[in-house]
Amino acid sequence: MAGGIVSEQVEALQAEAFATRQAHFDNRIYFFAPGLKHFETEEFRQQTPQAFRPISLTGSACALQCEHCKSKILEPMIPLDQKEGLLALCRRLAERGTRGVLISGGSQPNGQVPLRKYLPEISRVKQELGLRVMVHCGVVDEDTARGLRDAGVDGVMLDIIGAEETIRQVYHLDLTPGDFERSLAALARYGHSIRPHIILGLHFGRFLGEEQALEMIARYPVDVLVLVILTPLVGTPMQGVEPPAVELIANFFGQARLRMPHTPIMLGCARPLGDHKTAVDRAAIDYGLNGLAYPAEGMVRYARNMGLEPVFRENSCSCGF
């Protein structure tokens, strides 16, 4: 009996979420394969891996050493050679066909990526090279938000964490969810194209502050919401953690779809592989998300069978449509 009711609720949420997607978007679904890694399936083969490249301003250095990462997400990024400089690096990349860059890096103890001193170069990258510039900024203050606006960046990304315990125990940051909200407010004040990320299961595989993070984000004008999944990385304290259950993830996809019906929602590249990935990718399509990065084999066919029209892009899903 109880099982029957639960599956009815699940089906109802799925149907309502997909109907919401159809009501607010055309039938295109976006598949992304940015040049962060080589990507090839039967359905989607990367053609221009140099098109969109990630740069780490700090190399693999990061003051926070979060429990789920230990700066491992910086490893596939191009480490900035301080002697060469950001503008020269971007010029070199542009000469090789790069059209967009993600400027990211490790964090300072205050949770901010050290962007301030690179603002003049970022401005020149925009003006002289015409590259698309996305920035992963971490928490920001007023001056950085203004500086990024003046530099002309195309979009800003930041992880939004809704639980103080997770901010302290996972990110080792002496901040509160309010500080993340203040960052969203500052970015909105300067008219940025905001692309917040929520990491599902960040609290050691458990859901803790994701709904608070979603509510926070829904209070601001964001252009793309990116959902990623806690991925137990080898060599981190979370390597043995169970990722969150697919049912919980699917339910959150549905909640996000209904809470932000007009906002493009993407499933980002960070998520566990294997059967978990295939099930999560299917759920992303079933619950009306607008796109996913590095889709599991068979997802293009699955989307077509749902009446959706696949569109392929070789930049970050945070870039949106």
**Which residue ranges make up the site for ligand SF4 (CB under 6 A)?**
62, 64-66, 69-71, 73-74, 106-107
CB of 246 to ligand SF4, least distance (A): 23
Residue listed under structure tokens 């793309």: 224
Q: How far is the CB of 262 from ligand SF4 (least distance, A)?
A: 29
Smaller CB distance to ligand SF4: residue 63 or 306? 63
List all residues 6 or more positions away from 172 whose beta carbon is below 8 Å from its beta carbon: 64, 65, 66, 67
Of 159 and 223, nearer to ligand SF4 (C-beta) is 159
Looking at beta carbons only, is 194 or 228 nearer to ligand SF4?
228
CB 194 within 8 A of CB 188: yes
Other CB atoms within a 10 A radius of the CB of residue 290 amount to 24
Residue keyed to tokens 């690096």: 89
Q: Which residues pair with 267 in a beta bridge?
A: 227, 292
To ligand SF4, the closest distance from the beta carbon of 62 in angstroms equals: 3
Residue with tokens 């503008």: 87
Q: Please say which residue, 75 or 128, places its beta carbon nearer to ligand SF4.
A: 75
Contact 136, 157 (CB under 8 A): yes
In the complex, the smallest distance separating the C-beta of residue 258 from ligand SF4, rounded to whole angstroms, is 29
In angstroms, give the least distance from the CB of 312 to ligand SF4: 28
Whole-angstrom distance, CA of residue 181 vs CA of residue 169: 19
- In the bound state with ligand SF4, the residue whose beta carbon lies nearer, of 137 and 317, is 137
Tell me the two tokens of residue 161. 């964490």
